[in-house]
Structure 1
Amino acid sequence: MTAPNLSWTARMRTGLRGMALLALALLAAACAGDRAGMRHSAGYVASGDYAPPGPPHDPWGPYIAEAAARHDVPEVWIREVMRVESAGRPDAVSSAGAMGLMQLMPATWEELRLRYQLGPDPFHPRDNILAGTAYLREMYDRFGAPGFLAAYNAGPGTFERYLARQRSLPDETRRYVATIAPRIAHVGPVNRAAPEVYAAAAVPTEIPPGLRRVGRAAPAQLAYRAPPSPPMHVQPATTVAARTVPTPPPVTAPVREPVIVRAALPPAPPAPPAPSGRFQLISSAHAAPALAAPRPAQIDGAWAIQVGAFQGHGPARNAIEQARRAAPELLASAAPAVSRVRTDEGELVRARLVGLSAAAAVAACQQVERRGLRCIAVAPDAQG
């Protein structure tokens, strides 16, 4: 019997140990890479050095309270969205690249950062919560509740196409609304979304799969002046200077709107006095009571906004561009409409953006007014 070759056996054992160590090193590197991947997105990196301002049981409470007060959003809305989105982890990054406590996509974060003059770090809990809360408010102003949850999760463009029955909602979005909506249904902002928003973007808490199911009846449209929005001045962690472009003041003389006459209809009851507010809706309710559900065009893009009447085409076009900059996402697909109209002070040039849904027109005017510009949301029957 031949004696075993001890030197060869020793070499084999050494080689196997080396391969095992190499495998462990590669595994550790891969795990470290995964951990690093959970802390960055689109060039943004979470530093991890975010000292909570609150106690252990509510580490981000002071930031939540600040954001709720600034944007008129109930604290429970912020907490529930944060709970579902990130489970309270400031360095969380989704597989799609959404970042931080409120899970903001990089492009959305950048837009909100510039709009509300926030700092450069999207993972910073204060700025992330302020931006996410502002976005919740924008979606609520545009779609009401619980539609704002669907828009926050799937994106406003996706939700708009769902409302227009052009596509279905993702299963994740339907579960998202069903999870959060029942927990926040008992509370709302001080300044509620306009009734037209709820009428145009109404969805149930349990959204069924497939295309949107629209009932035969719809809420009657009301003449409504939205209450004033809370101030939107956010003091950032790092202030970014914003450039303002002066807008020529519109002529204050009222523009004559066409008189709407409907034969064989009883006179409309007088509208109740509207509370003071930031912008005005010109609705068909001024002309006659609603006898049927609004036409599909009132949901699918027959609304407009008016941003003034001026003494020339140049100021009118400038006002339209300033409105676009104030609400870029809402007005990206709206068409400019400049026309001459007769007023008590002579002929003026009226500036409008057309081709909007009711919800988009109301929300756009709110954003435009926050920039100090005038804006009127115009219903289809009031256009002329």
Structure 2
Amino acid sequence: MAIPSPRRIARMTLPLRGAGAIVVVMSGAGCAVDRAEIAKAGHVPVIADYAAPADIADDPWAPYIAEAASRFDVPETWIREVMQRESGGRHRAVSRAGAIGLMQLMPGTWRELRGRYRLGSDPFLPRDNILAGTAYIREMYDRFGAPGFLAAYNAGPGAFARALAGRHRLPPETQRFVAAIAPRIEGIAPASGAVPTAHAALQGAIAGSPRPARPVLSADQTRPAPPPPAAETFAGGFRLVSAARAATLSVSLAAAPPAEAADPAPAVSPSGGWAIQVGAFRTLEPARSAIEQARAAAPDLLASARPATPNVETAHGRFVRARLTGLSPEAAVAACRRVVRQGQACFAVAPAARS
């Protein structure tokens, strides 16, 4: 199939609704082939040009990166590394899969982030693309810690959660993505503090090895903290924590029980005052998503649980806690075991520890 010339490509463009950007529009059979061949030949869809905000030739998007880093408490180094790996700093970049702009956001992800953070209508606009990509980094970090957020950003949170659970291996592209960036951001964390990550689980997901029986936090990633009041430890590594401490932990992958040990559903008991917490997020939407993901992991135990998304003020700002309430102690502990096996954070919270 002949590759269209740049002039012909320019004639095949239509303006995006409500925006000055222009993208290639192709119809009929063989559309994917045409796009792939154009990309292989080095042609990029013609879109509107944007003036860079900075005078520094080798750092044209610095003001937008600084704004995004401040707004979402994400280190500038993380943004730069992801951007460089994803698009090479080219604001016109469009991948074969359809990812857009500097941060290479998929159209569906862009639409969600645009609405959630009240961004403009043009996904190629560098400022909005950087803001959206940085918000996505923050959301993935809140769920998976570092460097897990890299895998979730590249492969998608669902794919990474399934990989953490040992269901499949991450794509080679994602493996290369993490391997290229992780060493360059080691030791760099948001101003609000580092979130511990279960490295054994992450390495198993990337390498495709069976799920480790007990993911262990590396010693240099845990921050010293006083023991929570009235803490009680259960078999399987689940811990009851106070609401104050749980609010400051945006993500913590609790130690999972051995893979061989089955979790029989506890005997049905009246609903109680216990709860599980599956994250603390900057905004409401990720909290709701985390609740639904947890409910799907243990539908028989959490079908009648009540969702709760209370706000809490901490020294690091306001967080929205994602909780399922009205559980018996047996159901709370058993549900957390299943949720963690799906790669999601989970704490069982006793009535005395709730606020």
Give the match's secondary structure for 2:305.
strand
Give the match's secondary structure for 1:279.
helix
Show the counterpart of 1:203.
202
Partner Cα separation in structure 1 for residue 246 and residue 213 of structure 2: 32
Cα offsets for 1:41-67 (capped at 9, x unmatched): 899x98523211112221100000111
Contact 1:39–1:93 under 8 Å retained in 2: no
Contact 2:155–2:171 under 8 Å retained in 1: yes
Structure with larger RCO (C-alpha < 8 A, sep 6+): 1
Show the counterpart of 1:106.
107
Contact 1:41–1:98 under 8 Å retained in 2: no
Give the match's secondary structure for 1:96.
coil
Which residue identity does 1:378 align to in structure 2?
A
Report which of the two structures shows the higher radius of gyration computed on alpha carbons. Answer: 1
Shift of 1:155: 0.5
Partner Cα separation in structure 2 for residue 105 and residue 205 of structure 1: 26
**CA RMSD between the two structures:** 4.8
Shift of 1:200: 7.7
Show the counterpart of 2:158.
157
Show the counterpart of 1:330.
290
Show the counterpart of 1:48.
48
Contact 2:69–2:76 under 8 Å retained in 1: yes
In structure 2, runs of 5+ residues without a counterpart are: 16-20, 27-44, 266-274, 296-302, 307-323
Contact 1:42–1:97 under 8 Å retained in 2: no
Closer/same/farther in 2, CA of residues 31 and 117 from structure 1, 3 Å limit: closer
Contact 1:100–1:125 under 8 Å retained in 2: yes
Count of matched residue pairs: 265
Which residue identity does 2:89 align to in structure 1?
G
Closer/same/farther in 2, CA of residues 66 and 162 from structure 1, 3 Å limit: same
Shift of 1:76: 0.9
| From 212, 215, 236, the counterpart of 1:214 | 212
TM-score (norm. length: structure 2): 0.59
Show the counterpart of 2:247.
279
Closer/same/farther in 2, CA of residues 206 and 330 from structure 1, 3 Å limit: closer
Show the counterpart of 1:345.
none
Shift of 1:296: 4.7
| Counterparts of residues 12-161 of structure 1 (less than 5 Å) | 27=5, 30-32=8-10, 40=23, 47-55=47-55, 56-161=57-162
Partner Cα separation in structure 2 for residue 119 and residue 93 of structure 1: 19
Contact 2:139–2:286 under 8 Å retained in 1: no
Closer/same/farther in 2, CA of residues 306 and 213 from structure 1, 3 Å limit: closer
Closer/same/farther in 2, CA of residues 63 and 351 from structure 1, 3 Å limit: farther
Give the match's secondary structure for 1:378.
strand
In structure 1, runs of 5+ residues without a counterpart are: 1-23, 226-256, 263-267, 282-289, 308-322, 340-348, 363-376
Give the match's secondary structure for 1:165.
coil
Task: Tell me if 1:378 matches 2:338.
Answer: no
Partner Cα separation in structure 2 for residue 261 and residue 154 of structure 1: 33
Give the match's secondary structure for 1:305.
strand
Percent sequence identity over aligned pairs: 46
Show the counterpart of 1:305.
277
Cα offsets for 1:214-268 (capped at 9, x unmatched): 266623999999xxxxxxxxxxxxxxxxxxxxxxxxxxxxxxx997789xxxxx9
Task: Tell me if 1:295 matches 2:257.
Answer: yes
Contact 1:102–1:132 under 8 Å retained in 2: yes
